[in-house]
Amino acid sequence: MTNTPVRTRMAPSPTGELHIGSFSIILKNYAFAKKHGGQFVLRVEDTDKVREVEGAKDRLLKTIKAYGLSWDEGPDIGGPHAPYTQSERLDLYSEKAKQLVEEGKAYYCFCSRERLEEDREKARAAKIPPKYGRHCRNLSEDEVVKKLADGSEFVIRLKVPDNRPIVYTDLIRGDIEVNSDIIDDQVLLKSDGFPTYHLAVVIDDNDMQISHIMRGEEWLSSTPKHILLYEAFGWKPPVFAHIPVYLNPNGKGKMSKRNGDVSAQSYLDKGYLPNALLNFFMILGWTPKDQRDIITLEEYIKEFDPKDISKKSVAFDIDKLNWLNGIYIRKMYEEDKAGLVVKLNEFLPNDFPKDKLEEIIPLIFERLEKLSDIDELTDFFYREIEVDQDLLLKKADKELVSEQLVELSKRLAEIDWTVENIEQVIRGLQAEKDYKKNQFFMMVRIAVTGKKATPPLFETMKVLGKELSIKRLGSALR
């Protein structure tokens, strides 16, 4: 670390929902800034107007806040380097691009789309990466002035030096060297006056004094371009760290919509708790020194070092996430039952008997992996059930099961409806008649719930109520 103040940033584009991989990187930038007493900056990169989705910016910010993170500077709160929205900084990008032209470090390109397509066709035929043919790189000043006066459409391109090693150190990957010959004379300013990502991000990161850039490894190939731009402007580049992408849960291929949800908001919508998700993102591809799985945000901020991030991509382990979320749900039940009730209310179906919620939660909270599971785990409490006759008659014939149902119904009808009395009747009948315990208890469970796996049987029947429990035993008999 140098004495330069640590400033990191997140720069989402409002072109859709916030990707879980992007959110994970946001978390790392946040933690690194907080660890070093620095600032975490939010910048909205909205220069891609073709792909921009209405309302996406507000949803992005809302999602980040829902996870419990915030920022020190941004479009909603301002800061010393405002504005923090790229579409409000267009004059700056145009000015800087033309500055590079005046200094001989960039040039106007007037090539038509057809000409550019010819370059691509030649590259494809030669089986080499496509590059611009530099047709306008050495136009005379008179030719440029004439084309501009004629109103010819143009872009501004960076004049990439020939055969130059570009060397930098990545916090995760170590020393990296790339030869400038593989880098295209990239477009900096498009014909519509909007900057490309490369120009805008370099200008903004320098203007906002960003010291460390942690981003996805898909930007590795762009980093040499950015370093050339920093050099062209005479600016010191920040420190880079390129983070591996997440793989699909099966470990094959980059995490994609075809293989599961990739929206950060969708996991909240399914009933994963923000703290559990943060914990999951913390340990996915990074591990504390003591190898523990449970870690708080405060602990993560203290211990996180990007140098310890795995160089290899890791699978998005849904089973691990479910396990972690279950732990956080149980912890919340122990520490803040009222808060858990409030959160569960968001996931209750319309026909759920809310007056029974506080009775039901103690029976099912240990089996919840996510809050949305409450529907499947409790539906038999308030909906009609279907009894699988094969399960009902498993390890017993019709005559025996009929006898069991009749006798049990008769005895249950005579008691006060408490857990203790229900248990006494069921256990007493099984012992008295010497019914096989596994068969008898499973038969009762199937008859009153329609399921093989439920919360504890006696407590479940208590919540179901005397009338409904006996009615279901009778229905099973019929």
Catalytic residues: 257
* DSSP labels, 345-411: HTT--TT--GGGHHHHHHHHGGG-SSGGGHHHHHGGGTS-----HHHHTTTS-HHHHHHHHHHHHHH
In angstroms, rounded to a whole number, what is the distance separating the alpha carbons of residues 478 and 472? 10
156 neighbors 107 (Cβ within 8 angstroms):
yes
Nearest to 430 by CA among 414, 445, 449, 452: 445
> With the CA atoms of 271, 277, 278 and 284 taken in that order, what torsion angle do they form, in degrees rounded to the nearest 10?
-170
Cα–Cα distances in Å, from 288 out to 16, 208, 274, 279, 308? 33, 31, 20, 11, 9
Calpha distance 135→111 (Å, rounded): 8
Classify 189 as helix, strand or coil: strand
Number of helical H runs and strand E runs in the chain: 20, 11
State how far the Cα of 293 lies from the Cα of 109, in Å rounded to an integer.
Answer: 54
